[in-house]
Structures are given as C-alpha cells and as structure tokens.
C-alpha cells in the first residue's frame, strides 16, 4: 500500500458484517431491471413515461444516499486527505473507462436483436424549446444516478463486504461481480454479447475500488463518464445553438 492509498483507504475488507440496510439496498438492482423490462417489452415511449422512469431512479438514488450516508461521509473524509491525486485519478479513470468500453465494443460482433434499443428521440435537442431542453437535461440524470446506484451496490455491498478468503476465491468474486454488473445492462442492448463491454467496465471499477478502498473514486469516475456522454452532449448542442450553428 503506497502513501496515496494509505490516505484514502476507508475499508480494510477484513470484516464480513451485513446489516438489514445492506439487504434492503440489494433490492434496488432488481428494481432497476424491472424498469428496464417495462421499458423494453411494453414499448413505453412517451415523455411522461420517461419522466416517471427518471424520477423513480432519482428516488432510488436518494434512498441509497440516505441509507449509506454514514459510510459515504466516512469515505469522503478519506477522499479529501489526498484530494488533488484523487481528482486526477477520477479524470484519468473516466477517460480509461470510456476507452475500455469502446475498445471492447469494437472487438465483439454486432448482434441484431428483436428488442428495439435504438428508439428515436422523443425530443429533438436541436429544435427543442428552453422548457423541453431543461426536460432533456433532467432525463439525462437518469443514467447518471443509475450508475451511482450500481457502483455503490456492486462495489461496496457485493464486493467489499464479501471480499475474503483465498486468492482463488477473491479472484472468483471479482470476476463474477464484473459479469453480473455487465448483465444488468441487458435491457440496454437486448443481448448478452452487448453487455460484454460493461463486464470489462465492471472489472476496471472493481480494481479501482479494491486498490483505493474508497467508494468515491469509483462513483466519480462513473459519474464523469456518464455525464460527458449525456449532459456533455447536450451542452455542446447548447453552444452550437447559441452560435447559430447546426450540430
């Protein structure tokens, strides 16, 4: 353990202590899957349904933050002890995460599915009114808070709290956790092959968490990545519209 990890480490993974709130938090994952199921199989595609979907995810996120508030404060206090290097790790990690996902995606075969994953946009950001554009930004929060929920549950609860035993057992835990993390994105693509890049993303985030022993690095890396892909794209369109240009 180097100086940086000594400063930011908030866990030692030596205790396997589960409380009621840990089991309750696990229910958030099937809830997210249920939302994906409803969206894909019932073709619920209108502004109201998307608003409800995003709102439910935000409510789940707030619930998670309240339940795990003591842990998050404890980890944040450690994060701040080396905040410059932590911020650098978050930025570099966010870039590497996107590179990993893009690289793996380029190496796997494209598989057509019966699920309609490429649905047309409900609101055209190029012509949307200011009110509709704000709605787009609100909807863009959905993937961001979902990523935060996934990271907290998969890294803190389903990895850190069971990361014990022999080297082989720990390796199996890391790999199985990564595979499961990828599989929960099934409804994003409608195929198992489509989730493989996210399995590698999960493996990368697992390694970061086990190295730093601090959940905030993982949370912020995933947030930076998702925010750039969602809100970042919308901000570019805002700039183009202000300049009178078309994207």
For 26-83, the pLDDT digits (tens) are 999 999 888 767 766 655 556 777 888 889 999 999 999 999 999 999 999 999 999 9
pLDDT over 90 at 245, yes or no: no
Q: Which helix (H) or strand (E) holds 33?
A: helix 28-41
Where are the domains positioned within the chain? 16-242
Read off the pLDDT band of 4 (50, 70, 90).
very high
Q: What is the pLDDT of residue 132?
A: 78
Could you give the CA distance from residue 137 to residue 232 in angstroms, rounded to a whole number?
Answer: 10
Contacts of residue 216, defined as CB under 8 A and 6 or more positions apart, other chains included, come to 72, 75, 76, 79, 86
Task: Please provide residue 118's backbone torsions phi and psi, each rounded to the nearest 5 degrees.
Answer: -100, 75
Per the model's pLDDT, the better-predicted residue between 113 and 234 turns out to be 234
Token pair, residue 165, equals: 């035993």
Task: Please provide residue 109's backbone torsions phi and psi, each rounded to the nearest 5 degrees.
Answer: -70, 150
Q: What is the pLDDT of residue 116?
A: 43
pLDDT over 50 at 118, yes or no: no
Give the number of other CB atoms < 10 A from CB of residue 46. Answer: 9
Average pLDDT over every residue of 186-210? 92
Lowest mean pLDDT among 43-57, 82-96, 205-219: 43-57
Helices (H), ranges, 114-183: 130-151, 167-183
Per the model's pLDDT, the better-predicted residue between 229 and 20 turns out to be 20
Per the model's pLDDT, the better-predicted residue between 71 and 186 turns out to be 71
Contacts of range 168-174, beta carbons closer than 8 Å, 24 or more positions apart: 174/203, 174/206, 174/207, 174/210
CB neighbour class for 20 (10 Å; exposed up to 12, middle 13-18, buried from 19):
exposed
Percent of the chain with pLDDT over 90: 60
Q: What is the mean pLDDT of the chain?
A: 87
Q: What is the pLDDT of residue 71?
A: 96
Could you give the CA distance from residue 43 to residue 102 in angstroms, rounded to a whole number?
Answer: 28
pLDDT over 80 at 233, yes or no: no
**pLDDT per position as a tens digit, 130-185:** 777 788 889 889 989 999 999 999 999 999 999 989 999 999 999 999 999 999 98
The whole-model pTM stands at 0.87
């Amino acid at each position: 353990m180097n100086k940086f990890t000594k400063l930011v480490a908030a866990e030692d993974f030596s205790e396997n202590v589960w409380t009621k709130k840990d089991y309750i938090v696990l229910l958030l994952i099937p809830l997210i899957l249920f939302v994906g199921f409803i969206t894909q199989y019932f073709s619920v595609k209108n502004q109201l349904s998307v608003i409800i979907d995003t709102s439910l995810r935000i409510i789940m996120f707030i619930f998670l933050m309240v339940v795990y508030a003591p842990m998050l404060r404890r980890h944040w206090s450690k994060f701040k002890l080396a905040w410059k290097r932590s911020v650098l790790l978050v930025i570099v990690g966010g870039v590497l995460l996107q590179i990993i996902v893009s690289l793996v995606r380029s190496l796997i075969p494209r598989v057509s599915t019966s699920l309609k994953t490429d649905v047309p946009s409900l609101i055209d950001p190029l012509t949307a009114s200011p009110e509709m554009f704000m709605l787009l930004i609100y909807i863009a929060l959905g993937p961001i808070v979902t990523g935060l929920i996934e990271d907290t549950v998969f890294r803190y609860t389903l990895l850190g709290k069971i990361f014990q035993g022999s080297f082989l057992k720990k390796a199996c835990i890391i790999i199985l956790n990564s595979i499961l993390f990828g599989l929960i994105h099934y409804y994003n693509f409608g195929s198992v092959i489509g989730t493989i890049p996210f399995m590698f993303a999960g493996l990368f985030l697992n390694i970061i968490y086990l190295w730093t022993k601090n959940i905030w690095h993982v949370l912020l890396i995933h947030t930076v990545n998702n925010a750039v892909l969602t809100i970042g794209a919308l901000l570019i369109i805002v700039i183009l519209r202000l300049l009178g240009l078309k994207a």
